[in-house]
Structure 1
Amino acid sequence: MIEQIKIEVRQAVKELHSLEDISFSVDFPSDMQFGDYACNVAMILAKQLKKNPKDIANDLTGYIKVHSPQNFTSTFSKIETVGGFINFTVSSLSLWNIVQQRQKAVLTSSGKGKKITVEYGQPNTHKLPHIGHLFSYLVGESLARLLESTGNTVTRANYQGDIGPHVSKSLYGYIQVGQPKPETLLEKVQLLQKCYQEGTKAYEEDPLAKETIDAITKKLYTKDPEIFEMWKETRQWSIDYYFALEKRLNVQQTYHYMESEIWNIGKEIVEKNIGTIFESSDGAIIFAGEKYGLHTRVFLTKNNTPTYEAKDMGLNIQKYQDLPYDLNLITTASEQNAYFDVMIKALELCWPELVGKTKHIGFGMVSMSTGKMSSRTGQILSAVDLIEAVKQRVVEVMKDREGLTAEEKESITEKVTMGAIKFAFLRQNVLQNMKFDLEESIKFEGRSGPYLQYTYARIQSILKQLDLPEATSKDGEQLTKQEELYLMRWITRFPSILSQAAEALSPHIIAEFVYQSAQLFNSFYAQCPINAEKNKELQRARRTLAVKTAAVIKEGLGLLGIEVVAKM
């Protein structure tokens, strides 16, 4: 509808003012009492034409009413000037037809969109994933789903550091404690985390330990048999643990890149471009970023080992060779923004065909009330710690729920736990810093995952009590109350909202839309009963409205990676 409005407005501007290619917007008004769409073209033209925007809007409105095709104007009950804006109000009959005909807004890949790679997660081996990694998993998966939903072909990728100083510190600690073999996977990765912390402390405080750890690092790169088998075994512990976590989070990554498998690619690329793109400085090889308004970074150390910059450059070249992309999205914490600016510039200079194809999304830092997380010092809340803490609270909330088997209660509890965490992380702009509030996340009212899951379950309970034939076109004439009209207006916006969220790479747009959908439904149901309604035409229409609202909530939550529950 937005594009249709733009076409008619452009035609009116062309005819009345002989102007073409003017840029303007058609948006949803902040308050639905002002209609369904608001166009700012008159405000844009005011300076150019040196006229009052209201007068311009009046002229354009009059032209559209008279000269636009009847099948366009008949869609609206009002086309009017409000201040300097042209507002369009869709008629209730048109709204009902849209609601009745509504199919899923979420598309599947058509092959006609872009080929996009989304890289996210990125936890290192030999350490526990903290809630920052959890945030990365949830943001990346939601972005992938948004982009898929708008017709793109999306490949999910994960890049994990399984070699380098952090691994050497963990292995050093592991050797010091006698290389035990714990029984459970959780115990194994907890041991590696503890060994990493002890190794880090020893590296900073003990010169002999520092020398030993540096030697382990060199042996890892040369695959020295003395250390290699131990590294392979402990590395697999971490990989198995991450796969189990990804399964629980319902993330769908298909490509897992390991640093040990690609580090040499970036090194070779840098070496081939010394003297042109890279230069020597004090024995190291650097990229002089100041030439491009950036900063200088080392790509090969004095020991001729590749830095993270070189490795990342090699990774992205390998990704392009494996899955030629139109767009390559990399999600990490925003503290790495400047780093990626340099890396991407170097990448594009080395491989000109990749110019403009790689974009870094720096999401905000995540914290709890206890402050910033650190796996180095041991003050860490792991991803699974957080999940289990939330689940324990959900179990307490759910313990008195009746009519559920033990199996049903466990399944619902897990889904509500994940819904609570995912919505809490994704409900705000992911580019901003956030604090996770456990108690707020599990509330069954307000902006929370459980509230939205509960609203969906409530609708299913209402519908379960009804046995009605499908509503007819005529039934929609019965919907005249404000709550009915506002709910219809709102849910018909979903395809446009979805496009906006995908274009802006902003899951919080979907989160807010789903929340408002639930709010409007609950307001509607409070004033417009369904089961007790005696007028069968009105009852059928309201039932259809409930069915379509539930579908919107389910699809919207699905884009956030949240599963609905049929009962709670």
Structure 2
Amino acid sequence: METPKQLLRNILTKYAEGEAFDVLIPPNPKLGDHATNLAFIWAKKENKNPKEVGDRLVEKLSKDSDIKKYFHKIEVAGNGFVNFFVSDDFARRELKRISRDKKFGYNNYRKGQKIMVEFTDPNPFKLFHIGHLMSNAIGESISRLYEATGAKVTRVTYQGDVGLHVAKAVWGIKKESLNISTFKNLKDKIKYLGEAYTLGARSYEENPEAKTEIEEINKKIYDRSDEEINKIYDAGKKLSLEYFEEIYKKLRTKFEHNFFESEFGPKGIEIIKQHPEIFEESEGAVVFRGEKYGLHTRVFINSAGLPVYEAKELGLNKYKFEKYSPDSSVIVTGNEINDYFKVLLKAMELTMPEVAKKTKHIGHGMLRFATGKMSSRTGDVITAEELLEQLKSKIKQKAANKTEEEYDIQAVAAIKYQILKQNIGHDIIFDFDKALSITGDAAPYIQYTYARLRSIGRKSKKGLFGWLGVDPSKLTKEEELALIKQLLNFPDVVRDAAELHTINTLTTYLYKLASDANYYYETVRILSDDTKRPERNARLLLVETIAQVLKSGLYLLGIKTLERV
């Protein structure tokens, strides 16, 4: 079944005469449930006043039998917008339908499409930091939104398993003369690996002799010419991947494929050699002259003849399409490399246009604290685990007697929601108190609202969606009808969030729905003895349907609900 917005758009198309127009949700419910700017389009064509044209449009629409099925009032605002008020009877009928639809909000807009989403991209031998957490939250939510619109999604990561950062860690391990296997648990092993990297990173900057040794180790890692280094490298990489999998479980992400940088050097060189008209030699290196396209020059093969990151990315993106043949490939990274991706995508456009045409880069902002962005190069880094542990500690201070899994769920929810409620490209100043608020725009508040509404059903001794004999016509209060109409907008919110990558519109919707549901809970007697049974059952249907939509919406954010908070 189509939503009121979709129904209205279909009806208005008959009157649009081929012109593009918008159907919007007014900021104030008193202005209607939906509005259109179609009068402005006509007014511009006819060089007339939008209000005058709007009056004419309302006169036509008022006689339309389809409009009468779904809308009980149409009016023109002073600025020329035409506002539509959804019929209360239609809304109540729809409530009964959507209460039985466990997939309500999902659609088949992308049915049959295969979409690959690359995100998180942690590097072996380095810690999983808050930047990876941000990419994971955004990439996982985008993946779930695509799935909700019917697509088959393949989640992948691209990990830098070679390079100076690896050589620095290996050098640090050699310098400490410790075997990773001497540490008994994963946490201690990873801590040691991080300390080894920090030692190597600082020494590389401060000690010329160490720098030379690290660069020599880097070459040996590439050609696997040193048995001792190979053992350290293989053990460290295996350990890193186990560590990442543990974090993915907490974040509720499962990747179908881990791509590694070491796999794609030769593939990238092959593409570059096939296109001498695009890449050129410069001081012994091979470069792409981005200035020709309003960009900047980047090296793809260095003066030692080795492929650098850019060349490997060419090979990676070609292989993605050879192996999986996606209809679309989306790459989520921090926005500090937006300019890099502009150059890469232009090089892809010139060398493999079909791949470039189907590839999209989404750059997200940075998560910052009071001390600003933190860099793992110097070791001054807050890891994802440390942040989650701090959140868990604060949650435990407020609520005891929960399982560790429940604390994990709430901590992950708190950080994910704070990330996702912002525009993807904007930086976030993380605030612990706001993230853990049970009265404001935060995950705990929405989780609490869900649990609160579900508790009503338990008290009534009825299960979710167990009200098949309910009469929704008993819902006559203004607050009840407003809530139903909000529910009807959920599929549009999901589709727009998936299509436009505006995850923050979904968080805004869920917060507003939770706020209004809490107000309703506090002002309307639902289970009291003096409430008549038909009204009581209808209200139970409403609150349980709201709970289901909150759960579905949080799922699309990668957040799990709890039955008790």
Superposed CA deviations along residues 499-547 of structure 1, whole A, max 9, x for unmatched, are 1111111221111111111001011122222101522221111111101
**Hey, what does 1:16 align to over in structure 2?**
none
Contact 2:11 2:66 in 1 (8 A): no
Cα offset, 1:6, TM superposition: 2.5
**Hey, what does 1:292 align to over in structure 2?**
293
What is the RMSD of the two structures over their aligned residues, measured on CA atoms?
Answer: 1.7
Cα offset, 1:2, TM superposition: 2.5
**Secondary structure at the residue paired with 1:74?**
helix
- The one-letter amino acid of 2:246's match is A
Cα offset, 1:111, TM superposition: 7.7
Q: How far apart are the structure 1 equivalents of 2:267 and 2:259?
A: 13
Contact 2:110 2:149 in 1 (8 A): no
**Secondary structure at the residue paired with 1:325?**
coil
- The one-letter amino acid of 2:261's match is E
Alignment pair present for 1:23 and 2:20: yes
**Hey, what does 2:507 align to over in structure 1?**
511
Contact 1:12 1:63 in 2 (8 A): no
Alignment pair present for 1:491 and 2:487: yes
Cα offset, 1:263, TM superposition: 2.5
Contact 2:157 2:258 in 1 (8 A): yes
List 4+ stretches of structure 1 deviating above 4 A: 108-111
Q: How far apart are the structure 2 equivalents of 1:10 and 1:261?
A: 51
**Hey, what does 2:249 align to over in structure 1?**
247
Superposed CA deviations along residues 434-470 of structure 1, whole A, max 9, x for unmatched, are 1111121112111111111111111111111114672
**Secondary structure at the residue paired with 2:254?**
coil
Q: How far apart are the structure 2 equivalents of 1:486 and 1:38?
A: 16
**Hey, what does 1:443 align to over in structure 2?**
437
Q: How far apart are the structure 2 equivalents of 1:503 and 1:96?
A: 29
Contact 1:286 1:296 in 2 (8 A): yes
Counterparts in 2 of 1:197 and 1:498: CA distance versus 1, 3 Å = same
- The one-letter amino acid of 1:257's match is F
Alignment pair present for 1:86 and 2:82: yes
Q: How far apart are the structure 2 equivalents of 1:435 and 1:528?
A: 38
**Hey, what does 1:365 align to over in structure 2?**
366
**Hey, what does 2:121 align to over in structure 1?**
122
Q: How far apart are the structure 1 equivalents of 2:447 and 2:33?
A: 27
Contact 1:109 1:153 in 2 (8 A): no
Superposed CA deviations along residues 50-90 of structure 1, whole A, max 9, x for unmatched, are 11101111111111111x2x244221111221220111111
Alignment of 1:452-531 (within 5 A): 452-467=446-461, 470=467, 472=469, 475-531=471-527
Alignment of 1:62-101 (within 5 A): 62-66=59-63, 68=64, 70-83=65-78, 84-101=80-97
**Secondary structure at the residue paired with 1:12?**
coil
**Hey, what does 2:173 align to over in structure 1?**
174
Superposed CA deviations along residues 378-415 of structure 1, whole A, max 9, x for unmatched, are 1110010001110111111112xxxxxx5x53332222
- The one-letter amino acid of 1:331's match is V
Contact 1:157 1:255 in 2 (8 A): yes
Alignment pair present for 1:49 and 2:46: yes
Alignment of 1:303-318 (within 5 A): 303-318=304-319
Q: How far apart are the structure 2 equivalents of 1:202 and 1:467?
A: 66
Cα offset, 1:300, TM superposition: 0.3
Q: How far apart are the structure 2 equivalents of 1:314 and 1:464?
A: 55
**Hey, what does 1:8 align to over in structure 2?**
11
**Secondary structure at the residue paired with 1:224?**
coil
Superposed CA deviations along residues 289-342 of structure 1, whole A, max 9, x for unmatched, are 122221111100001111111111111111111111111110111010010011
**Secondary structure at the residue paired with 1:234?**
helix
**Hey, what does 2:271 align to over in structure 1?**
269
Q: How far apart are the structure 2 equivalents of 1:208 and 1:42?
A: 74
**Hey, what does 2:560 align to over in structure 1?**
563
**Hey, what does 1:192 align to over in structure 2?**
193
**Hey, what does 2:222 align to over in structure 1?**
221
Give TM-score, length-normalised by structure 2.
0.94
- The one-letter amino acid of 2:36's match is C
Number of residue-to-residue matches in the alignment = 551
Q: How far apart are the structure 2 equivalents of 1:191 and 1:144?
A: 34
- The one-letter amino acid of 2:115's match is I
Alignment of 1:143-162 (within 5 A): 143-162=142-161
Cα offset, 1:358, TM superposition: 0.8
Q: How far apart are the structure 2 equivalents of 1:38 and 1:244?
A: 48
| Structure 1 gaps, min length 5 | 14-19, 400-405
Cα offset, 1:176, TM superposition: 0.5
Percentage identity across paired residues of the two chains: 37
Q: How far apart are the structure 2 equivalents of 1:65 and 1:487?
A: 26
Contact 1:159 1:259 in 2 (8 A): yes
Cα offset, 1:45, TM superposition: 2.5
**Hey, what does 1:325 align to over in structure 2?**
326
Contact 1:9 1:60 in 2 (8 A): no
Q: How far apart are the structure 2 equivalents of 1:201 and 1:234?
A: 19
Cα offset, 1:121, TM superposition: 0.6
**Secondary structure at the residue paired with 2:154?**
strand
**Hey, what does 2:415 align to over in structure 1?**
421
Q: How far apart are the structure 2 equivalents of 1:177 and 1:11?
A: 75
**Secondary structure at the residue paired with 1:265?**
helix
Contact 1:8 1:64 in 2 (8 A): no
